[in-house]
Amino acid sequence: MSDELLSGFVSLVGRPNVGKSTLVNRLVGTKVAIVSDRPQTTRTQIRGVRTTDRSQIVLLDTPGIHRPRTALGERTNARAVATLAEVDVVCLLVEAPGAIGPGDRYIAALVHEVDTPRILVVSKVDVADRRMVGERLATASAQLGEFDAYVPLSGLTGDGVDALVDEIEHRLDPGPEYYPGGVVSDQPETFLAAELVREKLLRVARDELPHSITVTAEELDAEGDETDESAEADDSILRLRVRVVVERDSQKGMVIGRGGAVIKEAGTLARQELEALLGTRVHLDTRVVVERDWQRRAHALDRLGY
């Protein structure tokens, strides 16, 4: 690495479902954040690390800022806003296909309250024509205030991402390597497993699945896994107990599915992807439990990691 390595922290903020997680995964080069078309999928701050010979950019994928209706929503909003003054660069994302709305203007006002370099990113240009992208850039400039740079891109295809990296690096100072080479996230394996199970449940069950689910995971000792004797015999397998938490008894059946079909398919998809990401065999002991009104109770949010 050069002694003049550029390094710093970059926060990606915006309304729910504007493409922040997809962009973080593209910048890092591998999956560190789950992706879904359901709003408010990201609930915690996720750090992805992009390291090259020129720079190390630590990316903060924040929850989408929205009008909160629960204690969970209030906490996720506060977490996203808190990053604005703690980073070296802020990227505000707005969608190319959608109009600039009150939510975008509200977040832009928050961004302008801090003395941090800011970049306006027009995302999802792969599903918008050139005229639409030009209109969005013009309206963003007029309605959201002044930014240091404006970058249209697609996190899905990668178009325009190099231009964003150039703009970010231009605003970073020489600094330390915060994470060793090869590290792409500071999230533990248990967090990644829980998030992947939640992502796959959102995909498999679609509209039938209540948004009020959360997932936790903890590592099991060989002696702690009584569900798979073959797994117990092989110490090379990563064993995880996964708890899918819902708010109502009626929701439990939706998550499990007829004959266990939904939870089984989601668990299989999550296990396969986790094995590919970690390069090791994985055994998931997945259970569904009811935690009444967990989104609205502070002590439940504390215990569930929010």
Domain match, 134 and 201 both: no
* Residue type at 280 in one-letter notation: T
Q: What is the pLDDT of residues 25-76, one digit of tens each?
A: 999 998 877 665 544 444 445 678 999 999 999 998 776 565 656 666 666 6
Please report, for the domain that includes residue 17, its CATH number: 3.40.50.300
User: 289 has which bridge partners?
Assistant: 245
Domain match, 137 and 211 both: no
Q: How would you write the pLDDT of the chain (306 residues) with one tens digit per residue?
A: 446 899 999 999 988 888 988 999 999 998 877 665 544 444 445 678 999 999 999 998 776 565 656 666 666 666 666 778 788 999 999 999 988 999 899 889 989 988 999 999 999 999 999 999 999 999 998 999 999 999 999 999 999 999 999 999 999 999 999 988 888 887 778 888 888 888 888 888 766 665 678 888 888 865 544 444 444 456 678 899 999 988 888 888 888 888 999 999 999 998 998 887 777 888 999 999 888 877 777 766 667 666
Domain assignment present for residue 184? The answer is no
Domain match, 163 and 265 both: no
Which spans in 68-225 are helix H?
71-82, 102-112, 130-143, 161-170, 189-205
Domain match, 150 and 245 both: no
Cα 57 from Cα 9, distance rounded (Å): 6
Domain assignment present for residue 198? The answer is yes
How many domains in the chain? Answer: 2
Please report, for the domain that includes residue 197, its CATH number: 3.30.300.20
Cα 97 from Cα 124, distance rounded (Å): 7
DSSP state, 85? G
User: Sign of the CA dihedral 285, 290, 296, 298?
Assistant: negative
User: Sign of the CA dihedral 53, 185, 178, 279?
Assistant: negative
Q: Which of 36, 68, 18, 38 is nearest to 199 (CA)?
A: 36
Domain match, 14 and 44 both: yes
Domain assignment present for residue 181? The answer is no
Domain assignment present for residue 183? The answer is no
Cα 5 from Cα 177, distance rounded (Å): 8
Domain of 222 in residue numbering reads as: 189-303
Structure tokens of 216?
Answer: 């936790």
Domain assignment present for residue 178? The answer is no
* Residue type at 187 in one-letter notation: Q
Q: Which of 149, 93, 162, 143 is nearest to 119 (CA)?
A: 149
Domain assignment present for residue 21? The answer is yes
Domain assignment present for residue 291? The answer is yes
Assess contact for 54 and 73: CB atoms under 8 A: no
CA dihedral 13, 18, 19, 21 (to 10 degrees): 50
DSSP state, 20? H
- Regarding pTM above 0.75, the answer is no
User: Sign of the CA dihedral 128, 147, 18, 28?
Assistant: positive
